Amino acid sequence: MNGRLDRAEIVIVGNGIAGITAALEARRLAPEKRIVVITSQLHPPIHTPALKQFACARLEREQLLVHPAGIERQQRIHVITSRVEEIQAQSQYLLLSGNRPFHYGKLLLATGSVPQGLPETLPGQHFDGVLTLHRLRDYLDLRRRLPTVQEAVVIGGGAHAVETVMTLLYWGIRTHWLLRGEYPLSRQLDAQGGALVRETLHRAGAIIHQGIEVVDIVGRIGVVVGVITNQRKMIPCQLVLVCTGSRPAIELSERCSMPLCRQHGILVDDLLRTNVPNIFAAGDVAAIRDPQTNRYAPRAQWYAAGEQGRIAGAMLADRPDLTRPPLGVSWHATHLGELSLLIAGNPHLQYPGIETLTDASQGGYRRLALFEDRLIGYLSLGHIQPDSLAIKRLIEEGHSVRPILKALLKGDVDAHHYFARLQAPPVQALPLINSQPERQRLPITGKLALTPEQLPLLAGSSPTGPSPKVPAGSSAYSHHTLWSYLEQKERP
């Protein structure tokens, strides 16, 4: 190998927030191990949620860095800039670009996500001025173009699209927002909540086109000059910004010699282990089980990726005893212009026995899902944002929320006072979820229900070989799902 580094006890593919957090945690717990991060990214890890602030010129590039420059060298973490072509799991080595083998003891896949983009068959998508916003280089390109743009089109209906519309309005650009449906964030909000977001952006100055899709992008001498919609209308513009969501970057997992189980991402257990020995996954690429519905999906949020990085770091360092408790129910908090959005648990879950309450006072909107006086889902949209981690804890510990139901509906619940009355420790001092079965406060306990596809992964065995045993008492294997419980309750 001509003196080149060709092996390490710990190898991490990807240097986003999950990858770098795992590397630093592993270094803290295993100071003697060699740690290598392999990435094709040409810059250090950045704080991706802050890119919208960067687009508004409120932050400069240096302020986007997650850690001070050079922290990898300071912590003796080797960074190799290369592309991983395949994984030879039986022999435990990667094949890098240039046909370079690299051996690993434990491997973490933290490859993140890739943008959905536009349909490949859409004409004109490669004209200059058509940008898919996803990474730093896309926002650098956007910043350079903004001074010359008078009119722009934003395609997409999610939170990313909302933030992009607000960025353009901030720069005084006439902005057309194209929505495929009647309201934005249709996967997170119901019609009432979506209408509130739509009207907020309309008042801010956005020109909103509902039920519209782009069928052609028009250019002149290679530069975009407008889009044509499915209603045969042309919208002139100098910039088209594509914010159509992202998907897990699972391409490397498809080139593994031992098949990795995938379902909306790479399937992992609560300790982020895949079905292949010594291979872990974390961040946007990892599909994690929702303890309420038993469905697997990525937790594509910054906070969740950081938490997964810490769990993965402990596992890579052979310190499962120091892993944090399971991630618990999903939650997401963000700002949509002047509105704050919080979603915790499953506020849209509908089934006999689940009670749904809504409130649209104080210029906002709240939606609660209750099961036998216990909160199982919460949505808050408005100018007041409740304590998101406190709401998450309310769902996971299963306390009756009847005493604070009115405050929850109004969005002004005092969680600290409520937990103090329960003689519980402060919210910040509690783990996300208690993994000890005798103290577990999730709503339902019992035997975990698994689909045939999930059995090889979660039962600790697979056609390709055994997976590590799960520690006794792990909540991933000891609590029933609410969905399964309700189904059984309906049986005669």
What is the pLDDT averaged over residues 387-405? Answer: 90
Per the CB < 8 A criterion, the answer to whether 152 and 277 are in contact is no
**DSSP string across 130-158:** EEE--SHHHHHHHHHHGGG-SEEEEE--S
The pLDDT, as a whole number, for residue 487 is 43
Q: Check which CATH number belongs to the domain holding 204 and give it.
A: 3.50.50.60
Which one has a higher pLDDT value, 10 or 473?
A: 10
The answer to the question of residue 65 being in a domain is yes
11: left (phi over 0), alpha (psi -120 to 50) or beta: beta
Judge if 109 and 257 occupy the same domain: yes
Q: Is residue 179 part of a domain?
A: yes
| Residue 283 predicted with pLDDT over 90 | yes
**For residue 144, pLDDT beyond 80:** yes
104: closest CA among 44, 169, 52, 36?
36
Query: 109 and 251 in one domain?
Result: yes
Q: Which of 39-43, 154-158, 464-468 has the highest mean pLDDT?
A: 154-158
Q: What is the mean pLDDT of residues 139-166?
A: 96
The share of the chain scoring above pLDDT 90, in percent, equals 70
Among 244, 268, 291, residue at a domain's last position? 244
User: Both tokens of residue 303?
Assistant: 């906070």
Residues 6 or more apart whose CB falls under 8 angstroms from that of 152 comprise 168, 173, 174, 175, 176, 237, 238, 239, 240, 241
Last residue of a domain, one of 405, 431, 457: 431
Where is the domain boundary, 380, 415, 431? 431
Say whether pLDDT at 181 is over 70: yes
Cα–Cα distance between 407 and 394 in angstroms, integer?
13
Same domain, 359 and 253: no
Residue 3's pLDDT band (boundaries 50, 70, 90)?
Answer: low
Asked if 213 and 309 sit in the same domain, the reply is no
Asked whether residue 26 falls in the same domain as residue 99, the answer is yes
For residues 46 and 66, give the distance between their C-alpha atoms in angstroms, rounded to a whole number: 5
Judgement on whether residues 277 and 178 belong to the same structural domain of the protein? no
In which domain, by residue range, is 37 found?
7-114+247-322
Mean pLDDT of 171-191: 96
Confidence of residue 423 (pLDDT cuts 50, 70, 90): low
Q: What is the pLDDT of residues 187-228, one digit of tens each?
A: 999 999 999 999 999 999 999 999 999 999 999 999 999 999
Q: How far apart are CA 44 and CA 42, in angstroms?
A: 7
Q: Do 84 and 231 share a domain, yes or no?
A: no
Give the residue with greater pLDDT, 358 vs 475. 358
Task: Note whether 220 and 308 are same-domain residues.
Answer: no
Taking the whole predicted model, whether its pTM rises above 0.75 is answered as yes
Residue 303 has pLDDT above 80, yes or no: yes
Mean pLDDT of 405-417: 88
Q: Are residues 134 and 230 in the same domain?
A: yes
Q: Out of 265-269, 435-439, 445-449, 473-477, give the one with best mean pLDDT.
A: 265-269
Assign residue 211 a region: left if phi > 0, alpha if psi is -120 to 50, beta otherwise? left
Rounded Cα–Cα distance for residues 262 and 425 (Å) = 38
Contact 36, 107 (CB under 8 A): no
Looking at the structure of the chain, the number of domains it has is 3
Question: What 3-state DSSP class applies to 366?
Answer: strand
Residues 92 and 73 in one domain: yes
Question: Quick check: is 440 in a domain?
Answer: no
Compute CA 278 distance to the chain's CA centroid, rounded to the nearest angstrom.
24
8 A C-beta contact, residue 486 and residue 352: yes
Structure tokens at 349: 């879950």
Mean pLDDT across 85-105: 96
Supply the pLDDT for residue 129.
97
Q: Is residue 409 very low, low, confident or very high in pLDDT (cuts 50, 70, 90)?
A: very high
CATH of the domain at 416: 3.30.390.30
The residue-averaged pLDDT of 86-108 equals: 97
Residue 460 structure tokens: 């600790």
Residue 399 lies in a domain: yes
Q: What is the mean pLDDT of residues 223-236?
A: 97
Q: What is the DSSP letter of 437?
A: G
The verdict on residue 364 lying in a domain is yes
Q: What is the model's pLDDT at position 474?
A: 32
Structure tokens at 355: 């009670």
Same-domain check for residues 211 and 360: no
Q: Provide the pLDDT for residue 440.
A: 28
Sign of the dihedral through C-alpha 190, 196, 202, 204? negative
β-pairing, 239-242 vs 279-281, is: unpaired
Q: Is residue 456 part of a domain?
A: no
**CB of 108 within 8 A of CB of 19?**
yes
The per-residue pLDDT for range 306-343, each reduced to its tens digit, is 999 999 999 999 999 988 777 889 889 998 988 999 99
Residue 491 has pLDDT above 70, yes or no: no
What does the pLDDT read at residue 414?
A: 85
238 with 256, same domain? Answer: no
Residue 454 lies in a domain: no
Tell me whether residue 484 is in a domain.
no
As a whole number, the mean pLDDT across the chain is 85
